[in-house]
Amino acid sequence: MKTIRSLLAPCGLQFLMVVSLLISPMANAAGYFTQGGKLYDPAGQEFQVRGISHYGFNADILQPQFLWAMGWKEQIAQIKALGFNAVRLPFVPDTLYNTTPVDQLSYVDPGRNPELLGKTPLQVMDLWMAEADRQGLYVMLDFHSVSKQRQYPTWFVSNPADYALIYNNRAYTADDWRRDLAFVASRYANLSHFFAIDVYNEPNGIVRWSTGDANAADPVNFWKPAVESAATAVLNANPNLLIFVQGITGNYDSIENSNVPVNWGENFQPQAYQPLNIPLAKLVLSPHTYGPDVYVKSSFAASNFPNNLKADWDTLFGQFSAVHPVVIGEWGGRYGQGGVGAADVAWQNALVDYLQGKGIRNSFYWCYTPNSGDTGGILDDQLQVRQDKLALLQRHWAGASSTPAPTPTPVPTSGATLALSASEYAVAQSVGALTVKLSRSGNASAVVTVRGYTADGSAKAGSDYVARSGVLRWAAGDTSTRSIIINVKKTPFSGTRNFTINLADATGGATLGAISSATVTITGSKAVTPSPTPPPTPTPAPTAFPQQTISSFSPASGPVGTVVTINGAGFTGSNAAWAGNAHNAGLSVISDTQVRVTIPAGATSGALAILNPAHAAFTASAFTVR
């Protein structure tokens, strides 16, 4: 969040025999899982999230912030060295589809980042994810908005007036959202530290949890069914992941307490009476909460502030922490340097006290770099570590344990073996459907079940085939074959594409047989036509940095820490800012026509300047440092 603006019910497998959907808690869930309000890795070991957000892939530059002054591997290494073990990495659809090299979107120091030159945003994210995994950092991808331009209230865009926000200038549908979530879930499935997806950031405005508000009754805006469908898409693509879900601003249903002041993403009250239908072992509640540096709630003016906040936090999210892990997805502020000063320090200290009292020691702090206007970062404007913030976080993390998950009561081994009939299947696109056989062998004295699910390869669910996920059940004494029918889409394509059908989570003492995963190859119905010889690729011209122009700035005066908005043109590629005689002002490039400058310590009254490697522009009048 950073600047507040004004304020599983999965598709069932089509079985020829009896099927029951898996929507109950799973002690034997694949990959990462939750139990009793705690997080566990695939080995069953409890782990703590000492996390920080590192944004930029969600902004106009579509890459990590501050690569004009730092190396990307250096950033990852520093994050780990500071004691963080997890990173929340925001992205947007533009990250996946924009093919402009990142060094043309923003200045990238070529000496520090030679590997990134000429790479698209997605290629850079591939490198970043692999390096974070190599260095042992847990990573959660955060679907931050439908657009790099601003935080959009919903996970879809249906208003033609807003199509210009989208990477292809078209509508962005809920199906597109689920497609993109499944894409990243599958793309990084081979990285062992990729543990979660935050399915959408800070839904707000017209969004409601579900039914209850007569003034906002259109189910297209209901958060509960939307995130349930998103969870299905993600877990079909990568069943190892956890699903992080944020709260809403309000359901206004006369059941929740709508008088409690909230931040975007903070309110989970309806979870108490309209709970999410997402597997308990996969669900994490991830509220966002901020103090007065970001958004001034009415509760901050109370005479008993900050002692009055505990009751509100309990109401909004804390009440669920014994059942669901509650991992604060965003919190932070300037913590006394700039902003509102002591009130934000009091707020952040009070939050840590509250979290300690609840036994909540997992969170993602906002953020790593200093150029988030109303919070700053764990680094200051000179890229030095804010030791006071780090000490606060260390207090928050203290006391966390690392213990194995409680061992479920053992289930006697039945001796049954469940397996697919073949490791490879082929189907022509024109046929339209494929039947996959499953068998039960060995002891048949017990009731057994197994989960079946599809996962993308080069074939993508939704466009090439219909994703399936569900549970197959055999009664005691039943040894008959099960069949799964998977529908194939008929939109023509050339060549072949593949996906997999997988078995997992056998129950009743059954074990998986030698074939528990099979590759399905779809042969396209479109004839292959020879590709023409492409013309020679021209040598790219050297990056040309524009001459900036400044038309206005506001405010005209303020103390150290003031964030000044400068309007003009040609700001793309700008990498430095001056304030009077201080040549180390913080700079955030919002767009080609707007930047924000943070007045640094030691600044004197004088002109503000915006610089790129080739040019500089100065304000026509002075900014007065008070």
Residues 171 and 320 in one domain: yes
The CATH number linked to 462 is 2.60.40.2030
- Give the residue numbers spanning the domain of 471: 416-523
State the Cα–Cα distance between residues 626 and 624, nearest whole angstrom: 6
Q: Among candidates 394, 386, 289, which has minimal Cα distance to 338? A: 386
Lowest-confidence region among 19-23, 142-146, 152-156, 283-287: 19-23
pLDDT band at 577 (very low <50, low <70, confident <90, very high): confident
Known catalytic residue at 330: yes
pLDDT band at 465 (very low <50, low <70, confident <90, very high): confident
| Comparison of pLDDT for 110 and 17, the residue scoring more | 110
Q: Which residue has the tokens 């820490």?
A: 561
Q: Which residue has the tokens 């920080």?
A: 52
CA angle 519, 235, 324 (to 5 degrees): 155
Q: Which residues pair with 474 in a beta bridge?
A: 448
Residues 330 and 392 in one domain: yes
Residues 211 and 123 in one domain: yes
19 part of a folded domain: no
Domain boundary among 488, 507, 523: 523
pLDDT band at 536 (very low <50, low <70, confident <90, very high): low
**Residue 617 pLDDT greater than 50, yes or no:** yes
Residues 498 and 460 in one domain: yes
Domain boundary among 332, 366, 397: 397
**Residue 468 pLDDT greater than 90, yes or no:** no
Question: Phi/psi of residue 520, each to 5°?
Answer: -110, 125
Half-sphere exposure of residue 232, counting CA atoms within 13 Å on the CB side?
Answer: 25
530 part of a folded domain: no
358 part of a folded domain: yes
3-state secondary structure 237-266: HCCCCEEEECCECCCCCCCCCCCCCCCCCC
User: What element of type H or E holds 124?
Assistant: helix 121-134
411 part of a folded domain: no
User: What element of type H or E holds 73?
Assistant: helix 72-81
Lowest-confidence region among 117-131, 171-185, 368-382, 577-591: 577-591
Strand order in the sheet with 517-523: 19-20, 469-474, 448-456, 496-504, 517-523, 424-428
Residues 203 and 83 in one domain: yes
539 part of a folded domain: no
Residues in the chain: 626
Query: Tokens at residue 612, please?
Result: 């790129």
State the Cα–Cα distance between residues 198 and 227, nearest whole angstrom: 10
Residues 100 and 139 in one domain: yes
Residues 183 and 55 in one domain: yes
pLDDT band at 403 (very low <50, low <70, confident <90, very high): low
Lowest-confidence region among 339-343, 352-356, 459-463: 459-463
Half-sphere exposure of residue 319, counting CA atoms within 13 Å on the CB side?
Answer: 13
| Comparison of pLDDT for 545 and 289, the residue scoring more | 289
The CATH number linked to 587 is 2.60.40.10
Kindly report, residue by residue over 420-447, the tens digit of the pLDDT: 988 888 888 877 778 888 888 888 888 8
**Residue 505 pLDDT greater than 60, yes or no:** yes
Choose the catalytic residue: 228, 256, 266, 330: 330
17 part of a folded domain: no
Amino acid at 88: R
Contact 243, 235 (CB under 8 A): yes
Residues 246 and 122 in one domain: yes
181 part of a folded domain: yes
Query: Tokens at residue 216, please?
Result: 């906002």
**Residue 222 pLDDT greater than 70, yes or no:** yes
State the Cα–Cα distance between residues 112 and 125, nearest whole angstrom: 17
Choose the catalytic residue: 202, 228, 256, 266: 202
**Residue 369 pLDDT greater than 90, yes or no:** yes
Domain boundary among 334, 366, 397: 397
| Comparison of pLDDT for 570 and 165, the residue scoring more | 165
The CATH number linked to 199 is 3.20.20.80
% the chain with pLDDT above 70 = 89
**Residue 475 pLDDT greater than 90, yes or no:** no
Query: Tokens at residue 149, please?
Result: 């331009």
Lowest-confidence region among 119-133, 379-393, 442-456: 442-456
Stretch 464-473: mean pLDDT: 74
Contact 15, 482 (CB under 8 A): yes
Amino acid at 570: G
Across the chain, what does the average pLDDT equal? Answer: 87
What pLDDT is attached to residue 399? 63
The DSSP string of 138-194 is: EEEEEE--S-SSS--SSS-B--GGGGGGSTTSS-B-HHHHHHHHHHHHHHTTT-TTE
What pLDDT is attached to residue 414? 54
Kindly report, residue by residue over 5-48, the tens digit of the pLDDT: 222 333 333 332 222 233 333 334 689 999 999 999 999 999 99
Domain count, the chain: 3
528 part of a folded domain: no
User: What element of type H or E holds 581?
Assistant: none
Q: Which residues pair with 285 in a beta bridge?
A: 245, 326
State the Cα–Cα distance between residues 61 and 573, nearest whole angstrom: 9
What pLDDT is attached to residue 537? 54
Contact 472, 17 (CB under 8 A): yes
Contact 324, 34 (CB under 8 A): yes
**Residue 99 pLDDT greater than 80, yes or no:** yes
Predicted structure pTM score: 0.65
What pLDDT is attached to residue 470? 64
- The answer to whether the bond into 325 is cis (omega within 30° of 0) is no
**Residue 100 pLDDT greater than 60, yes or no:** yes
What pLDDT is attached to residue 535? 55
Kindly report, residue by residue over 246-304, the tens digit of the pLDDT: 999 999 999 999 999 999 999 999 999 999 999 999 999 999 999 999 999 999 999 99
Stretch 351-368: mean pLDDT: 97
Residues 189 and 304 in one domain: yes
Residues 393 and 449 in one domain: no
Residues 364 and 449 in one domain: no
Q: Which residues pair with 577 in a beta bridge?
A: 585, 610
What pLDDT is attached to residue 529? 56
pLDDT band at 491 (very low <50, low <70, confident <90, very high): confident
Residues 488 and 386 in one domain: no
Residue 24: DSSP 8-state: S
Q: Which residue has the tokens 């597109």?
A: 176
What pLDDT is attached to residue 534? 57
